Amino acid sequence: MTLLRLTPLALSRSRFALSPLAETLGAIRALSGYGGDPWLAAWHRRHRAAFSQALERDPFAAGLIGLLNATTWLPGFVAVPPPHGMRTTIAQELAQLRRATDEQVAGELKEAVVNGGVRQSLDGWLTGQDWGPRIAELLGTVWSRHVQPDWSRRRALLERDVTYRAGLLAAYGWPHALARMNRRSAWVGADAIRISDRPSPDRVVGDDGMLFVPVSQPRGTWLCESPPDRYALVYPARGAAAEPEPPHPARALRQLLGAGRAAILQELARPATSSELAEQLRLSLGTVGGHLAVLREANLVSRTRTGRRVVYLRTATGDLLASGVTAGASDAG
């Protein structure tokens, strides 16, 4: 069992972050597989052929991506905590990767083979030099061609997960916020997180705290580490980053509130920011803001602040109206 131990100061400073590089690694795994998860289907159909053709033309890319897909031990040069929290950009992460030396890259790739249970030789494709910049260019290309066009949809899902877990954190503390992040992680005692069933020495998180990084792939988790004591746990976000389909509120709720306000009230079964609502419902931010103002005035919706984010949630009256009208319309049918 592998534990991450946190001091009280580290625990108080732990927070959520986004990593476009981690999202790119998740996309590579999806594009290398069959893409059977429903939310991936349309995206997978659009990008799979071009991705596969690029690998066929580039032995270095094919070798590296084959290893990243096969190993259970990601090389450290791609498993690095995002440097700027929720504002981290792919350019910042790739800049870190470009600084990796050939000695570091070769050593960590060998660890990924030995510790990750991979039957693959590096000799056939790990040739030349300047591997850090070459890997950064490769992952940057995957990002720009296959992930960035879909980033708005994915980011909305990731931010929604952060909103949800930040609400749990504020109300109940970290054990509830971490609940069901993945099958292996769990809170142990008062000061430790179990991150793996694999035996290895415990890690001690530094006083800057730990990062929790959602990605939109449906399964899989990994630990990012930056010596001496910075750590980030990458985990699958709740829900599916499906092609957004606006909800269809019950007819009675639409007649009572109007279609836009009814859709927002229904969507707020899970708390969300105004920008998240606009993205999910395909409405302008101004339209969402106007509807939220009316719903707040009617005491159907309230708002709270989580860090720099203003989060909207249903009141008890809003819950009662949404569930009561929907159930009544369903029963009548």
Q: Mean of the pLDDT values across residues 237-244? A: 60
Range of the domain at 289: 251-332
With 50 as the cut, is the pLDDT of residue 333 above it?
Answer: no
Within 213-273, where are the H helices? 251-257, 259-267
State how far the Cα of 217 lies from the Cα of 28, in Å rounded to an integer: 10
Which of 203, 236, 269 is where one domain is finished?
236
Please indicate, yes or no, whether residues 28 and 130 belong to a single structural domain of this protein.
yes
The alpha carbon dihedral of 152, 30, 243, 272 has a sign of negative
Angle CA(47)–CA(49)–CA(51) in degrees, nearest 5? Answer: 65
State how far the Cα of 303 lies from the Cα of 284, in Å rounded to an integer: 19
With 80 as the cut, is the pLDDT of residue 328 above it?
Answer: no
The structure tokens listed for 268 are 């707020």
pLDDT at 191: 83
Please indicate, yes or no, whether residues 186 and 283 belong to a single structural domain of this protein.
no
pLDDT level of residue 332 (50, 70, 90 thresholds): very low
Q: What is the pLDDT of residues 50-64, one digit of tens each?
A: 999 999 999 999 999
With 80 as the cut, is the pLDDT of residue 327 above it?
Answer: no
Which of 194, 209, 236 is where one domain is finished?
236
Please indicate, yes or no, whether residues 40 and 145 belong to a single structural domain of this protein.
yes
3-state secondary structure 272-302: ECHHHHHHHHCCCHHHHHHHHHHHHHCCCEE
Whether residue 178 lies inside any domain: the answer is yes
Please indicate, yes or no, whether residues 6 and 149 belong to a single structural domain of this protein.
yes
State how far the Cα of 161 lies from the Cα of 241, in Å rounded to an integer: 11
Q: What is the pLDDT of residues 11-42, one digit of tens each?
A: 889 999 999 999 999 999 999 986 656 677 78
CA atoms lying within 13 Å on the CB side of residue 282: 6
Please indicate, yes or no, whether residues 221 and 96 belong to a single structural domain of this protein.
yes
State how far the Cα of 194 lies from the Cα of 45, in Å rounded to an integer: 37
State how far the Cα of 73 lies from the Cα of 91, in Å rounded to an integer: 24
Q: What is the pLDDT of residues 193-231, one digit of tens each?
A: 887 777 788 899 999 999 999 998 877 789 999 989 999
Q: How many C-beta atoms surround the C-beta of residue 120 within 10 A?
A: 16
Whether residue 220 lies inside any domain: the answer is yes
Whether residue 122 lies inside any domain: the answer is yes
Please indicate, yes or no, whether residues 100 and 190 belong to a single structural domain of this protein.
yes
Count of domains in the chain?
2
Whether residue 57 lies inside any domain: the answer is yes
Please indicate, yes or no, whether residues 256 and 226 belong to a single structural domain of this protein.
no
Angle between helices 90-98 and 131-142 (to 10 degrees): 160
Whether residue 243 lies inside any domain: the answer is no
pLDDT at 58: 96
Please indicate, yes or no, whether residues 256 and 231 belong to a single structural domain of this protein.
no
What does pLDDT average to over the chain? 86
Please indicate, yes or no, whether residues 284 and 232 belong to a single structural domain of this protein.
no
Whether residue 244 lies inside any domain: the answer is no
pLDDT level of residue 97 (50, 70, 90 thresholds): very high
Please indicate, yes or no, whether residues 205 and 287 belong to a single structural domain of this protein.
no
Please indicate, yes or no, whether residues 182 and 61 belong to a single structural domain of this protein.
yes
Please indicate, yes or no, whether residues 228 and 290 belong to a single structural domain of this protein.
no
Which of 180, 202, 236 is where one domain is finished?
236
Catalogue the E-assigned strands of 76-229: 186-188, 192-196, 203-205, 211-215, 222-226
Whether residue 48 lies inside any domain: the answer is yes
Higher pLDDT, 60 or 313: 60
Question: Among candidates 273, 271, 262, which has minimal Cα distance to 321?
Answer: 262
Strand pairing of 222-226 and 230-236?
antiparallel
Whether residue 261 lies inside any domain: the answer is yes
Q: What are phi and psi of 257, to 5 degrees?
A: -110, -20
pLDDT level of residue 323 (50, 70, 90 thresholds): confident
State how far the Cα of 75 lies from the Cα of 330, in Å rounded to an integer: 52
CATH number at residue 283: 1.10.10.10
